[in-house]
A and B are shown apart, each in its own frame.
Chain A
């Protein structure tokens, strides 16, 4: 016997009352009906949503500064910190006249996160020296194909704070350092 809870199997032949199963059905239905009056464990998603913990790590957002310039400089620290190797990027030099688009002289022209690989550990956020990437309070929505899980810069970039202030504030949430 491995545990004290093991029970000896009863191999006696069933009595008449047991063989018509009626009593056992009533007993089972009793358990089911009693749950109707208990507090429900489920919620009506998507009408209702659970509140996340403050430290919840969800979908990545590429941040902009207050003037709407992209923070990311493609330094590659998020990619080197990523244990799942989900992040790839390509850097480019800022041309004269693009100063309103990018904060520094170098920027990420391509930035991709493979959400199939991502384990949402948040190490990219920890590694970022420019406050450019952070994990928001939403999770990656479901998709029918795998292709939809390769998030590119268009999907990751936060809305422009001057052009779409409301969406920017919403995306910023309570996690990013407000600048």
Chain B
């Protein structure tokens, strides 16, 4: 029933766009934060702003350009429309969700230049953080979390919420994906992935309002070939990679672009390495944090590439992934490092200096190859090494 209604709606939108195309000029002129750009009719304000890029672009937590029908849920992309169009230049009375509002010719939009928008967005962030646990020190998404970024950019410091946060019973949704329902902001992106990418959808949103939760029906494990993409689309740490769980922090790993011949997907991925260990495999992300497109097709990756190919030899490495230098992930990555010449062997006639201590002999860290474990390490993992020394 939902599907039918959704299709009808889509049809209606499509018809509207058709009508506009008939009467209006081929290109709509829209001004966003005093920058004018020409876009095709039927483009949303958010996508027009993305064409300009930079600070003008409103943030989006639920809208995902590669997922049909996404958007309109989180309200972080609110903008002010100062003039509706050249034909009707009245301002829109309320702030509008830019991901769901299409541009009109001569529309004037205010995003960062509007105090109202900034204030509303700070409020929205506060609302999103009402029930979101502030467990970033534990969360594997920390460092690449969109809500964390948004909180730091727009939110106010500290929480005013004094009540008990929403909690859920823990649910195991299979060996590959870890679900933390408490962290979910109900953006619906993962259900769209399940709907549009995988053959048979086994997970969706149960209950309503405050009780709404992501779940698989009767705890059915998600074993579709493309189900792992839910991890990539999740803007928060609600869906994370179980094979990477607690193994390392994102900012200690080294992102590297790699590819392999895969018969199911494009095979173009980012490897998150530590030394030669592959700790995690994700799809490549573009500047909006979405999965990158190749020839107009989104580069979703299959579960084999994501979860089973955890060895460097499985991949053809292309080079380091470009990471924004403001991101914590680029922390401690020394780019363009010029190493001084080792003079000791030269002075000592080719002999290397005697090491007074090799840290690897003393340190307990790395006694167990954590990257080889299928899931997170527990106290049981280390029991063997504790009883008979080092492995």
Answer whether residue A98 sits at the interface, using C-beta atoms and an 8 A cutoff: yes
Residue in B closest to A111 when the chains form the complex, CB atoms: B365
Residue in B closest to A91 when the chains form the complex, CB atoms: B246
Taking CB atoms, residues of chain A closer than 8 Å to B328 are 80
Answer whether residue A106 sits at the interface, using C-beta atoms and an 8 A cutoff: yes
Question: With A92-B381, A147-B357 known to touch, is A76 a contact of B252 (CB < 8 Å)?
Answer: yes
Interface string of A81-111 (1 = CB under 8 A from B): 0000100111111110010000011100110
The answer to whether B362 touches A93, judged by C-beta atoms less than 8 angstroms apart, is: no
The answer to whether B363 touches A88, judged by C-beta atoms less than 8 angstroms apart, is: yes
Bound state CA distance, A114 and B362, in angstroms?
10
Answer whether residue A146 sits at the interface, using C-beta atoms and an 8 A cutoff: yes
Bound state CA distance, A127 and B364, in angstroms?
24
Answer whether residue A121 sits at the interface, using C-beta atoms and an 8 A cutoff: no
Question: With A92-B246, A104-B138 known to touch, is A98 a contact of B363 (CB < 8 Å)?
Answer: no
Question: With A73-B137, A104-B135 known to touch, is A92 a contact of B142 (CB < 8 Å)?
Answer: no
Taking CB atoms, residues of chain A closer than 8 Å to B154 are none
Answer whether residue B332 sits at the interface, using C-beta atoms and an 8 A cutoff: yes
The answer to whether B365 touches A129, judged by C-beta atoms less than 8 angstroms apart, is: no
The answer to whether A93 touches B378, judged by C-beta atoms less than 8 angstroms apart, is: yes
The answer to whether A98 touches B137, judged by C-beta atoms less than 8 angstroms apart, is: no
Bound state CA distance, A106 and B133, in angstroms?
15
The answer to whether B370 touches A90, judged by C-beta atoms less than 8 angstroms apart, is: yes
Taking CB atoms, residues of chain B closer than 8 Å to A75 are 136-138, 142, 249
Interface string of B241-252 (1 = CB under 8 A from A): 000011111011
Among A91, A104, A147: residue with most chain B CB under 10 A: A91
Taking CB atoms, residues of chain B closer than 8 Å to A77 are 137
The answer to whether B381 touches A130, judged by C-beta atoms less than 8 angstroms apart, is: no
Taking CB atoms, residues of chain A closer than 8 Å to B356 are 146
Taking CB atoms, residues of chain A closer than 8 Å to B251 are 76, 80
Taking CB atoms, residues of chain A closer than 8 Å to B249 are 75-76, 80
Interface string of A38-59 (1 = CB under 8 A from B): 0000000000000000000000
Answer whether residue B380 sits at the interface, using C-beta atoms and an 8 A cutoff: yes
The answer to whether A93 touches B364, judged by C-beta atoms less than 8 angstroms apart, is: no
Among B328, B356, B378: residue with most chain A CB under 10 A: B378
Residue in B closest to A85 when the chains form the complex, CB atoms: B332
Answer whether residue B379 sits at the interface, using C-beta atoms and an 8 A cutoff: yes
Q: How many residues of B contact A (CB 8 A)?
A: 33
The answer to whether A114 touches B359, judged by C-beta atoms less than 8 angstroms apart, is: yes
Question: Chain B's nearest CB lies how many Å from the CB of A74?
Answer: 8
The answer to whether A90 touches B377, judged by C-beta atoms less than 8 angstroms apart, is: yes
The answer to whether A90 touches B138, judged by C-beta atoms less than 8 angstroms apart, is: no
Question: For chain B residues 235-271, which have a beta carbon within 8 Å of chain A?
Answer: 245-249, 251-252
Answer whether residue A112 sits at the interface, using C-beta atoms and an 8 A cutoff: yes
Residue in B closest to A116 when the chains form the complex, CB atoms: B357
Answer whether residue A150 sits at the interface, using C-beta atoms and an 8 A cutoff: yes
Among B138, B252, B356: residue with most chain A CB under 10 A: B138
Residue in B closest to A72 when the chains form the complex, CB atoms: B137
The answer to whether A95 touches B135, judged by C-beta atoms less than 8 angstroms apart, is: no
Residue in A closest to B138 when the chains form the complex, CB atoms: A106
Answer whether residue A124 sits at the interface, using C-beta atoms and an 8 A cutoff: no
Answer whether residue B320 sits at the interface, using C-beta atoms and an 8 A cutoff: no
Q: Which of A73, A80, A130, A146 contacts B332 (CB 8 A)?
A: A80
Answer whether residue A152 sits at the interface, using C-beta atoms and an 8 A cutoff: yes
The answer to whether B382 touches A109, judged by C-beta atoms less than 8 angstroms apart, is: yes
Answer whether residue B174 sits at the interface, using C-beta atoms and an 8 A cutoff: no
- Can you report 10 residue pairs joining A to B where beta carbons are below 8 Å apart? A75-B249, A76-B248, A76-B252, A80-B252, A88-B363, A92-B381, A106-B246, A109-B379, A146-B357, A152-B364
Q: Which A residues form the contact surface with B (CB < 8 A)?
A: 73-77, 79-80, 85, 88-95, 98, 104-106, 109-110, 112, 114, 129-130, 145-147, 150, 152
Q: Which B residues form the contact surface with A (CB < 8 A)?
A: 135-138, 142, 245-249, 251-252, 328, 331-332, 356-357, 359, 361-366, 370, 375-382
